[in-house]
């Protein structure tokens, strides 16, 4: 149980700042696409007897690079993501069906199995989270500038495409480490919901990221507690708590706006 809590909080910390950028840049679908691709990674890693993390990370990275390369070459971003995400998911599911002999619990990867997190999983999760947080903190100003205007980034002497790549790679790492915790289907929720919930409370980009991290952590703690008490699945319970927090803060925010 302690391990599960630590895993949830670790993912929440990595997902918070990244989720803010996903929301600001309207890349919500990108998280989904990377996550769907990760299923293919799971299938491959089971075939080649690698760790699930390695396989998922590899496919998520390839996906991220492919999207970055193809972006702006004829297809709109959402079309491109739609094609890649669902083909990766389909290929992944087909690949899994070829794996005879091994009984795979696909559900465990779709919805995550946070209660089965091992000590070494925990190391991977916190290692990945620390890497992502460090990367985002280091490039924070540049990422923020590139998010608002590409030319402004060039005029300030850095390449916005490189910043986009940093963001995409961080997203791939986060998806890979989060698979065990919330599963493929709910990773996007961990990215977007805490960030969206933090919006109505924040007055600066930095505070939005910090509040999102806090909301994510609280959701993990409360979600796991609720899962224990009511005997509900852990990953979805975490997301439910985050969604309830989002609803509360948004309502409070609207009320506050009406009064002022």
Partner 1 sequence: MTLITAEDLSVRYGANTVLRHVNMSIEAGEIVTIVGPNGSGKTSLLRAIIGAAKLCEGQVTRKPGLKIGYVPQKLHIDPTLPITVERFMRLTHRVPRPACKSALEAAGVPDLLGRQMSQLSGGQFQRVLLARALINAPDILLLDEATQGLDQRGSAAFYKQIETVRRETGCAVLMISHELHVVMSASDRVICLNGHVCCEGSPAVVASAPEYRALFGTGTGGALALYRHEHDHGHDHADHSQEAAE
The residues that touch partner 1, with contacts defined as CB under 8 A, are: 23-26, 141, 144-145, 147-152, 154-156, 195-196, 199, 202-205, 207-208
The answer to whether the beta carbons of residues 194 and 20 sit under 8 Å apart is no
CB of 149 vs partner 1, minimal distance in Å: 5
CB of 239 vs partner 1, minimal distance in Å: 19
The answer to whether the beta carbons of residues 25 and 147 sit under 8 Å apart is yes
The answer to whether the beta carbons of residues 145 and 153 sit under 8 Å apart is yes
Distance CA 178, CA 174 (A): 6
The answer to whether the beta carbons of residues 15 and 153 sit under 8 Å apart is no
Q: Smaller CB distance to partner 1: residue 80 or 146?
A: 146
Structure tokens at 183: 């599963």
Q: Smaller CB distance to partner 1: residue 155 or 247?
A: 155
Distance CA 2, CA 238 (A): 15
Structure tokens at 226: 């609720």
CB of 31 vs partner 1, minimal distance in Å: 15
The answer to whether the beta carbons of residues 104 and 55 sit under 8 Å apart is no
CB of 242 vs partner 1, minimal distance in Å: 16
CB of 210 vs partner 1, minimal distance in Å: 12
Structure tokens at 217: 């952590």
Q: Smaller CB distance to partner 1: residue 27 or 181?
A: 27
Structure tokens at 231: 């005997």
Q: Smaller CB distance to partner 1: residue 156 or 232?
A: 156
Q: Smaller CB distance to partner 1: residue 20 or 38?
A: 20
CB of 199 vs partner 1, minimal distance in Å: 5
Cα–Cα distance list, 232 to 44, 161, 216, 238 (Å): 30, 43, 19, 10
Distance CA 201, CA 255 (A): 12
Q: Smaller CB distance to partner 1: residue 119 or 258?
A: 258
Distance CA 260, CA 258 (A): 6
Cα–Cα distance list, 164 to 93, 116, 140, 196, 208 (Å): 29, 34, 12, 21, 20
Q: What is the DSSP letter of 113?
A: -
Q: Smaller CB distance to partner 1: residue 51 or 156?
A: 156
CB of 82 vs partner 1, minimal distance in Å: 22
């Amino acid at each position: 149980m302690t391990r599960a809590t630590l895993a949830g909080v670790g993912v929440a910390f990595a997902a918070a700042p990244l989720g803010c950028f996903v929301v600001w840049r309207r890349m919500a679908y990108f998280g989904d696409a990377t996550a769907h691709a990760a299923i293919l990674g799971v299938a491959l890693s089971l075939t080649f007897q690698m760790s699930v993390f390695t396989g998922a990370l590899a496919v998520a990275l390839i996906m991220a690079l492919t999207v970055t390369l193809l972006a702006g070459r004829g297809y709109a971003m959402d079309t491109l993501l739609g094609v890649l995400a669902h083909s990766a998911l389909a290929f992944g599911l087909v690949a899994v069906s070829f794996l005879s002999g091994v009984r795979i619990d696909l559900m465990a990867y779709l919805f995550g199995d946070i209660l089965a997190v091992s000590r070494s999983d925990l190391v991977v999760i916190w290692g990945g989270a620390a890497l992502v947080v460090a990367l985002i903190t280091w490039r924070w100003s540049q990422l923020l500038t590139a998010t608002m205007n590409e030319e402004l980034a060039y005029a300030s002497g850095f390449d916005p495409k490189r910043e986009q790549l940093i963001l995409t790679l961080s997203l791939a790492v986060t998806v890979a480490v989060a698979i065990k915790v919330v599963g493929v289907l709910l990773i996007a929720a961990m990215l977007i919901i805490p960030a969206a919930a933090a919006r109505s409370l924040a007055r600066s980009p930095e505070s939005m990221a910090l509040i999102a991290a806090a909301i994510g952590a609280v959701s993990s703690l409360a979600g796991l507690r609720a899962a224990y008490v009511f005997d509900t699945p852990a990953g979805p319970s975490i997301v439910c708590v985050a969604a309830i927090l989002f609803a509360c803060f948004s309502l409070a925010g609207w009320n506050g706006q009406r009064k002022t």
